[in-house]
Chains A and B, each alone.
Chain A
């Protein structure tokens, strides 16, 4: 079982809750995914549409809320959002996200490290969203991050695990769980991430914008389980030369 901080998880699929077409589809998708942790964001209430409340379909007793600091452009803004999330009653868990560049939404490593140091001091369980930078992952781990969440590709791109080489180094070195966050576009991407030893994946866009999000959530759940089982089973090594699967002996009778 996956353990992050003091919590254990049966499911290694975490689900983002953004960009769903309706609250009802979101609720059904969460159920189909089998996930135990969901991310949420913090925003101003729209005073003209107060009924639009995601909490009506999300059960805090059933799912661990992982509020994010999306929208924060520096450590200061991220810390403010983190404190608000805690005040909103979501507990100490936090997906730290600092993205100063709206075009790429790539995370700022310096501000992310700074915010992690402060938030760990304040007792938060910090899961920082990072570029796939093995050195930064180690620095964050040393700063007390509960896990590291390197991107597979930029947020919402569905480009898959294009950071595979660096992610493999992160997995090899990490003492904390590695969660592949962002960019995974298909169940096969999630499988690959799990096969190479990721501890979990966090998926949102690939599921929420699918033709049938509920079915896609189930597909990702299966892919994550298959990839994890393959990792635990131990993949066979690759070779540039063929190796017959059928015995070579016992063919005398056809050789004249």
Chain B
């Protein structure tokens, strides 16, 4: 099934949790903040949230800035 991540379409297998998807992207879940369909997902929900067809994710993190 397809989801949109940071503007790109990604193919994932059904029943994929948010935390496993983040790890599959080679990211540390503790350093990434997530919006799913415009709603901020709390860190303690990453493990239980199962991604759905058509979900729109934004994966955001701190970068250098002034």
Measured between beta carbons, the chain A residues less than 8 angstroms from B27 are 45, 50, 53
Chain A contributes a number of interface residues (CB within 8 A of B) equal to: 37
Given A55-B31, A84-B35; A47-B6 close (CB under 8 Å) = yes
A39–B65 Cα distance when bound, in Å, is 6
CA distance A54 to B64 in the complex (A): 7
A67 to B32, CA, bound (A): 14
Name A87's contact: one of B26, B40, B63 (CB within 8 Å).
B40
Assess whether A254 is interfacial by the CB under 8 Å rule. Answer: no
Contact residues of A: prevailing secondary structure = mixed
Selecting from A12-20, A188-196, A221-229, the interface stretch reads: A12-20
Chain A: minimal CB distance from B60 (Å): 5
CB distance from B41 to the nearest CB of A (A): 8
User: Bound state CA distance, A90 and B26, in angstroms?
Assistant: 22
Contact between chains at A45 and B64 (CB < 8 Å): no
Given known A-B contacts A44-B6, A84-B35, A87-B33, A54 and B26 have beta carbons under 8 A apart = no
Q: How far is the CB of B27 from chain A (nearest CB, A)?
A: 5
Determine whether the beta carbon of B42 is less than 8 Å from that of A87: yes
Chain B residues within 8 Å of A65, by CB:
62
Asked whether B26 lies within 8 Å of A51 as measured between CB atoms, the reply is yes
Closest 3 CB pairs of A and B: A41-B65, A16-B66, A204-B66
A-B contact sample (12 more), CB < 8 A, given A40-B64, A67-B62, A85-B33: A18-B63, A41-B63, A43-B60, A44-B6, A47-B59, A50-B25, A53-B31, A84-B35, A87-B41, A88-B60, A182-B66, A204-B66
